């Protein structure tokens, strides 16, 4: 999978995780009905949300790629969040519940009775959070494939195309955003493309699958074909 997509997805997942994690943490901290409780919950939510979001995004890129869609992202996030949350929840010391009280009623003792209860509760929260991240990242990375391409969207010989995804074997040579001209059409899915730099110098000549490119500009002659 393209390294640039993985990096962008991790950044996106971290941001989404931090935002929703902070909201969930602050809401949970508000149960204590104190400003300190809200702030502590917010900070914990931001930290756990960022970590969960980053790991979920990286895993979603591996499982969903650019074709899996939100369905794969949904199940990836849900399963990872549940397992990750269960592990973290089991590590919470039981004595922590004694430190958070509201009117002599321990909030942690009610919501997370013992290690098992803690594991289930944190697993539930992180499962929701990771599902949001997984769906978001998978949906953003999805490159739709159409069985029928409109005439105005069909790539013909001598059209200009833009690289939207770099094949792993061409990393370091081809870059996302490169503009090239279709020299030859091998089939409906593969195109021989020549890329020229703005100064007119040669950059690369490679055969790319249609999933790595998109139509940038049609030449006038091809528009009437």
Widest pairwise Cα distance in the chain: 80
- Does 159 fall in a domain? yes
Say yes or no: 194 and 100 in one domain: no
Most confident of the following: 5-14, 147-156, 181-190, 213-222 = 5-14
CA dihedral of 96, 99, 105, 108, whole degrees rounded to 10? -30
Mean pLDDT of 208-222: 81
* Predicted local distance difference test score (pLDDT) of residue 44: 86
Task: Provide the 3-class DSSP secondary structure of residue 213.
Answer: strand
- Pairwise CA distance, residues 41 & 22, whole Å: 8
Per-residue confidence band for 210, with pLDDT thresholds at 50, 70 and 90? confident
In a domain, 146, yes or no: no
d(CA 179, CA 164): 10
Q: Return the pLDDT at 149.
A: 46
User: What is residue 96's predicted lDDT score, i.e. its pLDDT?
Assistant: 55
> What residues form DSSP beta bridges with 215?
161
Is the pLDDT at 84 greater than 70? The verdict is: yes
What is the SS3 assignment for 99-150?
HCEECCEEHHHHHCCHHHHHHHHHHHHHHHHHHHHHHHHHHHHCCCCCCCCC
Residue with the larger pLDDT of the pair 69 and 108: 69
What whole-number distance in Å separates Cα of residue 142 and Cα of residue 97?
Answer: 43
Does residue 85 lie in a domain region? yes
- In a domain? residue 86: yes
Residue 198, in any domain of the structure: yes
Say yes or no: 96 and 167 in one domain: no
For 116, other C-beta atoms within 10 Å of its C-beta total: 12
Chosen domain end from 141, 167, 195? 141
Q: Of 112, 141, 170, at which residue does a domain stop?
A: 141
CA distance 214 to 217: 9
- Is residue 179 within 8 Å of 193, Cβ to Cβ? no
Residues 12 and 38 in one domain: yes
Give the list of residues 6+ apart from residue 119 with CB closer than 8 angstroms, or none.
85, 86, 87, 89, 90
Which of these three, 141, 170, 191, is where a domain ends? 141
Q: For the chain, how many structural domains are there in total?
A: 2
Q: Cβ neighbours of residue 24 under 8 Å, at least 6 residues apart?
A: 45, 49, 125, 128, 129
pLDDT surpasses 50 at 114: yes
Query: Is position 180 within any domain?
Result: yes
Question: Is 134 found in the same domain as 155?
Answer: no
Q: Per DSSP, what are the bridge partners of residue 213? A: 163
What is the CATH number for 208?
A: 2.30.30.30
67 and 106 share one domain: yes
pTM here is 0.60
- Taking alpha carbons only, the member of 66, 54, 25 closest to residue 42 is 25
* Portion of the chain with pLDDT greater than 70, in percent: 80
pLDDT tens per residue, range 150-205: 555 678 888 999 999 898 888 888 999 899 999 988 777 789 999 988 887 889 99
pLDDT at residue number 141:
87
Residue 177 lies in a domain: yes
User: Is residue 216 in some structural domain?
Assistant: yes
- On whether both 101 and 21 belong to a single domain, the answer is yes
**pLDDT higher than 50, residue 148:** no
Reported as a pLDDT band with limits 50, 70 and 90, residue 144 is low
pLDDT tens digits, 38-60:
888 888 889 998 999 999 999 99
Q: Verify that 44 and 134 share a domain, yes or no.
A: yes
Crossing angle (nearest 10°) for helices 3-29 and 35-64: 150
Give the structural domain span for 47.
3-141
Mean pLDDT comparison of 60-64, 109-113, 153-157, highest-scoring range: 60-64
Check residues 86 and 153 and name the one with the higher pLDDT: 86
Asked if residue 24 and residue 69 are part of one domain, the reply reads: yes
Same domain, yes or no: 79 and 9:
yes
């Amino acid at each position: 999978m393209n390294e640039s997509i993985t990096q962008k997805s991790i950044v996106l997942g971290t941001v989404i995780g931090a935002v929703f994690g902070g909201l969930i943490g602050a809401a949970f901290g508000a149960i204590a009905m104190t400003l300190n409780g809200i702030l502590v919950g917010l900070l914990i939510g931001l930290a756990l949300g960022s970590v969960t979001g980053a790991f979920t995004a990286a895993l979603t890129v591996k499982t969903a790629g650019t074709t899996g869609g939100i369905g794969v992202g949904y199940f990836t996030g849900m399963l990872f969040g549940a397992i990750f949350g269960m592990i973290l929840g089991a590590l919470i010391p039981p004595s922590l519940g004694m430190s958070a009280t509201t009117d002599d009623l321990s909030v942690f003792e009610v919501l997370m009775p013992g290690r098992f209860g803690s594991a289930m509760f944190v697993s539930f929260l992180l499962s929701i959070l990771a599902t949001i991240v997984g769906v978001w990242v998978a949906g953003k990375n999805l490159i739709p494939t159409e069985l029928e391409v409109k005439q105005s969207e069909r790539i013909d010989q001598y059209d200009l195309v833009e690289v939207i995804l770099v094949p792993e074997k061409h990393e370091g040579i081809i870059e996302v955003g490169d503009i090239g001209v279709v020299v030859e059409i091998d089939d409906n899915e593969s195109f021989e493309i020549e890329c020229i730099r703005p100064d007119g110098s040669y950059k690369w000549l490679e055969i790319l699958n249609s999933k790595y490119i998109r139509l940038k500009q049609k030449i006038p002659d091809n528009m009437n074909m």
